[in-house]
Amino acid sequence: MAEFVMPTLGADMDAGTLVAWKKKPGDRVTRGEVIAEVETDKAAIDVEVFASGVIEKLLVQPGEKVPVGTVLALVREEGQPARGARQEARGGEQEQPLAPSPAPLASESAGRRRISPAARQLAADLGVDPARVPGTGPEGAITRRDIEVAAAQARGERQEASGGNQEPAVASRPAPQAGEAGDRLLRMRQTIAAAMARSKREIPHYYLGHSIDMSRAMAWLAETNRQRPVPDRLLYGVLLLKAVSLALRDVPELNALWKDGRSVPASAIHVGTAISLRGGGLVAPALHDTDRQSLDELMRNFRDLVKRARAGTLRSSELSDPTITVTSLGEQGVETVFGVIYPPQVALVGFGKLLERPWAAEGRVEARPVVSATLSADHRVTDGHRGGLFLASVDRLLQEPSRL
């Protein structure tokens, strides 16, 4: 009998709330199929099952918050006898089934809909009932923008009913309790702080920086995009993600996880990409098999990942699988970023803003687009020599963009 447990969705998670079951006892499931929705302090996550078989028993009710590792359900794998057959073999001993969930009240129905935690908090702040809001996110998920539109429409209706007079600001929404508006953001910052404090306390970081001439990469990108319709054009950041993933083949020690006091090489390259959330905070879900994807595939999957991260509809494997993280703060004007490793990973790569710099090459000095690439790495696993080879490999790959 396989146990379906509350997954760990990163070093900053110690518990999760079961929002809804997607399957019921007796349903057949296959490995990788979503069977539950779980809410953390960062997002609502679709959780996949990692065994094929039949749902034997649900052990946790929707709405319950349980620690990571808690058994949520039992899955009878192929070839195993059904529960009734086992009971007969034991002389008819009867197992107590999980009490069925009470039918949700109308006011509870929004809790079973797909809505990001940030959107749910905003709805509470603005006095909006999510059950009445149509979702525009993936699979009908309710986003912050949906809540904002609903609140604006409600204000307009009230103003029209009152003859078009402007309502006082206090009438547009209920006054929040002390600290209510920032409560979720505070919890998110606390979980991030706990993970980062653990990282700096336990991981002996070393840091390397390297400037990369991006003139060839940017020229190739401009020429490639000129021949494409706008929706199919590539973003510059995708080149960086692909270059990092391929460089890990040259220095595989950086593509590993620290477990039980030793470095465990990862079996695949799943690059986590840091994504800022509109309500504050960030997540770093994985782009699976990054090194095996073409640039076009990577572009499509990256856009989809960003969209779902901000709508709160990520999958559990996307949060639990990253083997290294890439963060880019160039859009914020940051020239250089030295990040903190996200345990149990052993490295993080940072990219800054693309800037025109004087560059000496072929006996002359000219202005070229240059990006600062940095590496934060775990000194228990690698050293500066191997880290330097990794950054040199990233540089070399970006000088041949057509081969990425």
Q: Is 387 left (phi over 0), alpha (psi -120 to 50) or beta?
A: alpha
**Tens digit of each residue's pLDDT (9 = 90 or more) over 184-241:** 667 777 777 888 888 999 999 999 999 999 999 999 999 999 999 999 999 999 999 9
**Tens digit of each residue's pLDDT (9 = 90 or more) over 72-119:** 999 998 766 665 544 544 454 444 444 444 433 333 344 456 676 667
- The overall longest dimension of the chain from CA atoms, in Å, is 89
The count of other CB atoms within 10 Å of the CB of residue 338 is: 13
CA distance 193 to 97: 40
Q: Minimal CA–CA distance to 332: which of 391, 273, 283, 276?
A: 276
Cβ atoms of residues 42 and 188 within 8 Å: yes
CA distance 205 to 207: 7
Q: Minimal CA–CA distance to 286: which of 45, 95, 36?
A: 45
First-to-final CA distance of the chain: 44
**Two structure tokens written together for 131:** 């059950």
Cβ atoms of residues 313 and 140 within 8 Å: no
Written as one string, the DSSP assignment of 152-205 is HHHHHHHHHHTTSPPPPGGGGSPPPPTT-TTHHHHHHHHHHHHHHHHHHHH--E
Q: What is the pTM of this model?
A: 0.71
Confidence at 394, pLDDT banded by 50, 70, 90: very high
Measured torsion, CA atoms of residues 67, 69, 72, 78, in degrees rounded to the nearest 10: 170
Measured torsion, CA atoms of residues 258, 262, 267, 271, in degrees rounded to the nearest 10: 20
Cβ atoms of residues 203 and 378 within 8 Å: yes
Cβ atoms of residues 102 and 112 within 8 Å: no
Domain boundaries defined on the chain: 2-89, 113-181, 207-403
Top mean pLDDT of 38-42, 135-139, 175-179 is at 38-42
Q: 207-403, what's its fold? A: Chloramphenicol Acetyltransferase (3.30.559)
CA distance 188 to 371: 31
For domain 2-89, which architecture applies? Beta Barrel (2.40)
- Say how far residue 50 (Cα) sits from the centre of its chain: 19
**Tens digit of each residue's pLDDT (9 = 90 or more) over 122-166:** 777 677 888 888 877 656 777 766 777 787 777 666 555 555 444
CATH of domain 113-181: 4.10.320.10
Asked whether residue 169 carries a pLDDT value surpassing 70, the answer given is: no
Residue 165, CA distances (Å) to 158, 169, 181 in order:
9, 12, 27
**Two structure tokens written together for 25:** 């006892």
Cβ atoms of residues 228 and 350 within 8 Å: no
